[in-house]
Amino acid sequence: MIAALPPIPDQVVVDLSAGKPVNVFRPDEAFGGGLDGMGQGEVAATYTPANIKAMRKVGLRKITYRLRTELGNQVWHWNPQGRWSDAAHAQGYWTSSDKPGATINLSNGYDLPRRGMTKDNANNAGYSRLDDGDVRTFWKSNPYLDSRYTHAPARTQWLAAELGDAKPIDAARLTWATPYAVDYRVQYWTGHDDWDPDGAWVTFPHGDIKGATGGVATLKLADAPITTVMVRVLMSRASGTAPKGSTDVRDGLGYAIAEVGFGTLDATGFHDVIRKGRSRTTQSVMHVSSTDPWHRAIDKNVELEQPGLDLVYRSGLTSGLPMMVPVGALFDTPENVAAQIRWLKRRGYPVDQVEIGEEADGQYNAPEDYAALYGQMADAVHAVAPNITTGGPSLQNAVAEMWGPDAGEDRSWTRRLIDALATQGRLKDLGFVSFEHYPFDDVCGDTAGKLLDHDALLDADLQRLRDDHVPASTPLVISEYGFSAYSGRVMSEMPAALLNADIVGRFMASGGKQAFLFGFTPNQPINQHLACAGYGNMMTWQTDETGAAKWHNPTFYAAWLLANAWSQPGHGEHEIWPAAASVRDAKGRPAISSYAVHRPDGRWSVMLVNRDPKAAHMAQVAFQGGPAQGFAGPVEVWRYDRSRYAWKDAGEKSRPVRDLPPLKLRQDGTAPVLLPPWSIVVVRGAVSSTAPR
């Protein structure tokens, strides 16, 4: 056994010299948990009275409802009761009923039969109709991007095909459906891969097509093959025609194409390099700018469930407070969105924020297209409830870069979105900008170094959002946070708790508005990404073999300390003041991160996170630059470290073998505070005089 290092003397200074706090927040608004979509049968198994009781013990009162259907290229039937635009055939554009009726405990997404994307960000079980080998199916772009709905010039649409390795291309075979493109260009990508920053789209020498009439078009694009890794069809003028017998104007808006082929053309015929298949593994990867939300009753996806809105509101998880409610954007209609808000009002459920879409930057669509849809959805919300704050788009990451199919001179997805909304006069409808924060894709490697690096990563992310033209007055919301988007052992060990405390503490100290913990619901350990990661998960509770919450994970107690020890539970206004530790490593990184709040009850509370895995610190807390000098009299101390928790690494059977709550102590407020290695410590008490409020 390696002997413990002696404690390192340290000082934490709370800086009052500015005369005003760096931020103010209310815990019942600022600290929350996220409820996500689930697999088949999991909603009923998770939302049991016992599990709900366990989740409420965390103390996170604000809830954000995550919309997994939006990640899976699906339309959300938030109410299973509703109407089809083509009721006789149970198909078309769906609008859920806005009439309160039977209790909604479960809802589902519906796959899109006019899908053009091969991949998605949910279960990733769908496929593109552009290269499924069936001319009876087709991709169609979103009709809501037509000028009829945007009240602006119709949005240019595109499809892009990944060829895998670089291949010679001089021809295309496009089998158009209805409506077809009259004017379009066929282009090749000059980059060595889809992310090449020097890559650009170039129109083939004979690829500028004008006055096309649909049907099957076999095109000779160049006199000699051009080697490329990706081909795009950019459509700029549509036929405006609808299939025979159509009575819905949306059927004739946008573009539709049944099959695409790219390759070479010679005397022996057309030689296609596109792989055809009805799965993401058997077909060439396709990307499209948008997708028509038209679908059928038979397209219900039972493998992906959303908890019913009644179930969530009546469970007690919202604590009677307004919930952040999502609405679809890329794969929904304004009519369905408006009906959802009317239903919520008629049910009497409180909602103050509506998040429009989810991870729109990860769907490879143009931010300008999302902006056009965002405006329509915001109008739908505000037509029913003018005082609701709309925002979004829950960016996959604060740094949202453009990908090849729609890359341009400006490759910032966020900046292009903000600029598009500004051009449309829509920034007033962007009441908050939300983004996910999972700082480490690699859940292996130097965990201690990652914890120390996080400060700079979060600071850079927040600065990047402002650099990307997000107005300084627009609140920032972390819609999901955790160690990583990929599960592994570290997610269920002490570092996850330390990082979560740092994420929330630093975000609030940087002016953030709200932060929502992902993995709020009980779960089981998995290995998702890397064998070296072991087994663990984003979860506050681990379930037993019956699905019941049994063991706390460290993320539970990190959240509990934030909501119950560091802050004063409820709606009281908290002031957060800058604080910093003195001991730093060779890179200038403090081993101790510190977050000081002045609470409504008049007491000061300082949360200290020791990110040193080997050495304890003895931290002397001091107040400088104002009337407060230091803690006076006894203080309360909560200490959570590895003496309170241990994880057994046993593959799928991994679980906690020691699971104790934070140790609560009282000590002299003038004495240094012991911070064990890898620990969260909260010190709370009165100070020798009152800091300015």
Residues of CATH 2.60.40.1180 domain(s) within the chain? 576-685
pLDDT in tens, 554-591: 999 999 999 999 999 999 999 999 999 999 999 999 99
Q: Which tens digits make up the pLDDT trace of 375-410?
A: 999 999 999 999 999 999 999 999 988 777 777 778
In 88-176, alpha helices (H) = 147-150
Identify the pLDDT of residue 692.
Answer: 41
Nearest to 575 by CA among 555, 557, 595: 595
What average pLDDT does this structure show over 166-170? Answer: 98
User: Where does CATH 2.60.120.260 sit in the chain?
Assistant: 139-292
Q: DSSP code of 401?
A: B
What b/e readout covers 624-638, taking b as 16+ CB neighbours within 10 angstroms? Answer: eebebebbeeebbbb
| CATH number for the segment(s) 139-292 | 2.60.120.260
Q: Is 586 helix (H, G, I), strand (E, B) or coil?
A: coil
Alpha-carbon 306 to chain mean position: 16
**Residue ranges, CATH 3.20.20.80, the chain:** 25-71+312-572
Give φ, ψ of 566 to 5 degrees: -65, -50
**Topology (CATH) of 25-71+312-572:** TIM Barrel (3.20.20)
What burial class does residue 121 get, using C-beta atoms within 10 Å of its C-beta: 0-12 exposed, 13-18 middle, 19+ buried? middle
Structure tokens at 603: 């007491």
Cα first-last separation, the chain:
50
pTM exceeding 0.75: yes
Whether the pLDDT of residue 521 is over 50: the answer is yes
- 230 has a pLDDT exceeding 90: yes
**pLDDT tens string 23-51:** 999 999 999 999 999 999 999 999 999 99
Res. 693: pLDDT tops 60? no
Q: What is the pLDDT of residue 3?
A: 55
- pLDDT at residue 241 is higher than 60: yes
Among 390, 401, 551, 412, smallest CA distance to 474 is for: 390
CA nearest neighbour of 457 among 492, 507, 493, 411: 507
Of 394-408, 415-429, 478-492, minimum mean pLDDT range? 394-408
Output the pLDDT for position 410: 83
61-68 average pLDDT score: 97
The overall average pLDDT reported for the chain is: 95
CB of 588 closer than 8 Å to CB of 643: no
pLDDT at 1: 40
Contact by Cβ (8 Å): 44, 598: no
Q: List helix spans (H) across 322-361.
A: 334-347
517, pLDDT greater than 70: yes
Q: Dump pLDDT digits (tens) for 182-225.
A: 999 999 999 998 888 889 999 999 999 999 999 999 999 999 99
Q: What's the CA gap between 316 and 61, in Å, rounded?
A: 10
SS3 281: coil
Beta bridge partners of 650: none
Mean local confidence (pLDDT), 628-642: 93
Q: Assign 109 to helix, strand or coil.
A: strand
Instruction: Return the pLDDT at 365.
Output: 83
Of the options 2.60.40.1180, 1.10.1660.10, 2.170.270.10, 1.10.1740.10, the CATH number for the domain spanning 576-685: 2.60.40.1180
Rounded CA gap, 327 and 341, in Å? Answer: 9
